[in-house]
Structure 1
Amino acid sequence: MPARLEVADIVRRHGQTYRQAYDDHLGRVERRVMSALSLCRTARLGGHVLGCQSCGTIRVAYNSCRNRHCPKCQGQASREWLAARQKDLLSVGYFHVVFTLPQQIAAIVFQNKQVTYAILFRAVAETLRRIAANPKHLGAEIGFIAVLHSWGQNLEYHPHIHCIVPGGGLAFDGSRWVPCRANFFLPVRVLSRLFRRLFLEELKGAFEGDKLRFFGEFAQLSEPANFKRILAESRRLEWLVYAKPPFAGPQQVLAYLARYAHRIAISNSRLVGMEGDQVTFRWRDYRHRGAVKVMRLNAHEFIRRFLLHTLPDGFHRIRHYGLLANGHRQQKLELCRRLLCALSPEAVVEESNPEPTSTPFTSRCACCGERMIILGVWAPPRPGRPSWNDSS
C-alpha cells in the first residue's frame, strides 16, 4: 500500500524551487515553517529506537518538528489541551458563534497580522461581553473560548473567529446562574452591528497611530483618503456573524474542540495526490450545500496558499474570556457549578470518557500490540539544531 501523501512531501519536492521563485516575498516565519515541515520526522531531527519486549520487534522513530503549522504535530498538542479543557465544562448547553471579516478588510488584515489579529480578538470579546451584559438580552457575565482560523476550504485567506460559549452566564452579583432561551443565545444581527463598529473603530485608530503598513497592490491604502474610503465601504456591508444550534452535551463540545482548536489550514487526510507539479486535494464547497469536490493546483500555488495562514511569532490563536479567563477560571466555575447544582469537575471528566493522552514516546507494537520501550536515543546534529516550537 503506497504511503499517504503529506504536506511535507509537497514542501520537500517543490519547496526549493518555490523559495528561489518567491524569495523576496518570504518572511522569516514562512521560511521556518517550510524548513520545519521538510525536516519533520526525519533523521535530521534525531530520534529513538523502540523495541518490543514480547516479540522482539525493533522500530526506528524520528522526532517531530513540533511546529504549530505542521499537520503531523497537532495530534498530541490537541489531546493535551483537550484534557485540560474537560475540567472547565459546565452542565449546560453550549453554542458555537462565528465572527467573519469581509474580504475588503481581509487584505488589510493579511498585511498587518500582528496588529489586526489582536484587534479582531478584542472586538469579538467586547461584542459578546457587552451584548450578553445587556439586561434586554441576557444580563449576565459569560465565558467563552475563541479560536482564530484564517482559511477557507480552498485554502484562500478568510480570517474568522470561532467561539464556544456556555448557554447562559453568571449574574453580576454572583447570586444565580442566568440561562439563555432554549436554542437561542444572542441576536446575531445585534452582534454583527456592534462587532463591525468596534473593529472599524480600532482599525481606524491603528491607522492614525501609524501602526499599519501596506505594500504591493495595496500600497495605495497608505493614503488617508483611500483608507477612509475602504472604511466607509466596509461600514455599509453586513458583517457575517452566525450562531449554530447548541451542542447536544459535553461529549459533543469536546469532540468539536478536538477538531477545531488545533486545526491548521489543511490536514494530510484531505490530500489526494501529487503528479509532476500538480497537487490535488478535497474541499467542501459551502456555496453548494457543502458538496465535496476535488481541486487541482500548481504546487507553487498550493504552497503559497498554505503559507498564507502562518501566524506571527508568539501569537496565541486560542484565547479564554470572561468566566473562562485564566486569572479566575476555577473560582468562577466552582461558583457556577454550585449555582447550577452541577456535577463536580471529576464527574464531568468521568462522564465525558475522554481518550487517554499518551506520552510522546509511548507506542504499541504493530505485531503483537504490547508496549514498546525505548532502547536508544540520538540527538539531531549540531550546529544548526532546529528550534521552532511555537505558542498556541
Structure 2
Amino acid sequence: MEITKFQGSEVAYHIRHDLRELPNEKSYGNESINPDLTKNNYSLIDRGKTAAEVNQYRKELEKEIFHYKRKNLVHACECVIQCPSDCPQEQKKAFFQESYSYFVSTLPMGEKCVFVAQVHTDEKHYAPDGSMISKDHLHIMYVPGVPDTKHAGYKFKLCADQLTKKAKLRELHPGLQRHLDDCGIKATVYRKKTGDGKAIALSVGQLKELTARTGIKLDHSLSIAELSQIITSNILKEKQLKDFQKMLQEKEAELSSALSDLSAANQQLLAVEEKKDAAVSASKEKIQGLDNDLKKTRDENRILKEKLADMQASYEAKENELSEAKAKISDLERKQEKSLDTGWGSQSGWGDSQTQNLSIEEEKIW
C-alpha cells in the first residue's frame, strides 16, 4: 500500500493516467502497460465517463470543503493497493472490493470524497528469467477532507497531513489484513515483524524495480530479517550459478571436442565417398568401352556374314556354270564318239581340231 499527495496542477494528469485516457498518438510512459489488456481494467465507482467529468466531480466537491488559497496546497491523495501474490485468482475481485471498502471506512468523508477507484490489470512485469509477474492493483484517488470545527458553513476542510500521519498509516496494513481475514479472503498484506522489528520501507515503484531486477516477487516492505534472508539466498544462488557456468563451460569443451571428431570422421567419409565415386565412374567408362567394342565386333561380324553370303552365292553360281559346262562336254564327247563310229573321224583333220577346241573351252570354264 502506498499513498501519494498531489497538488492542483497534477490531479488531472493522474486521473487521465488511472482511466487510461490518453490524447491521440500518445503512449504511456510506463512501458509495463499492455494496451491490449487495458479493456480488462474496471472501476469500483462511477464519477463520470471521462477524465474531465471525474475531475469536475472533484472540483464541485472541493466547493463544499474549506481550503486555504496556497500554491502548494494538496488537493488530492492517492492510495495504491497491490493484490498480493498469494491471493487466489478467483478472489481477486473480492480482494479489491473489500480493500476499497476498508480504506473508505478510514476516511472522515467516507466514499463521497473518492473520485477514482480504478483496478488496473494491464500492467505486466517480467522477471530476468523471462517469466511474467502479474501486478494487478487498485488506484484510489480522494479529496483529503477532514472535520472542520473552525470555519462557519463548512463541515470539512482540506488537510492531507492529518490523514497521512505515521500513526494512522501504521494502522492501515494490519487493519486491512484483519478486514480481509474477517471476509475470508486469503491474501497477505501484512506480516508481523520478526527480530528487532525494524523494516525497510519500499514504495510500489521500488518493489516493481526490485522484482524486475531480481525476479523476487515482493508486495510489501522488507524487514531486516527478510532482507538478510534474501541476500543469503542470493549469495547461494550466485555460487550455484558460478558452479553451473563452470559445468556449462566443461560441457561446451566436450561438445567442441566431439564436434571436432565428428568433423574429422565426416572428412574421412567424404574421402571414401570420393574414391567410391571415382571407381564407379571408371567402371562405367570401362563398361562403355566394352559396349562400344562389342558393337564394333557385331558390326564387323555382320559385314563378314554378308560377304560370306555373297561368296556362297557366287560359289553356287560357278558350280552351276561348271555343271552346265560338264554337261556340254559330255554331250560333245558322246557326239564325237558317235561320229567316230559312223566314220566321220576319217575326214581330214576334223576330229583333232574339234577335240582341241573343246579342251580350250573347258579350260575357260575352270
TM-score (norm 1): 0.29
- Structure number having the greater helix percentage: 2
- Structure number having the greater strand percentage: 1
Q: Using CA pairs below 8 Å that are at least 6 residues apart, which structure has the higher relative contact order?
A: 1
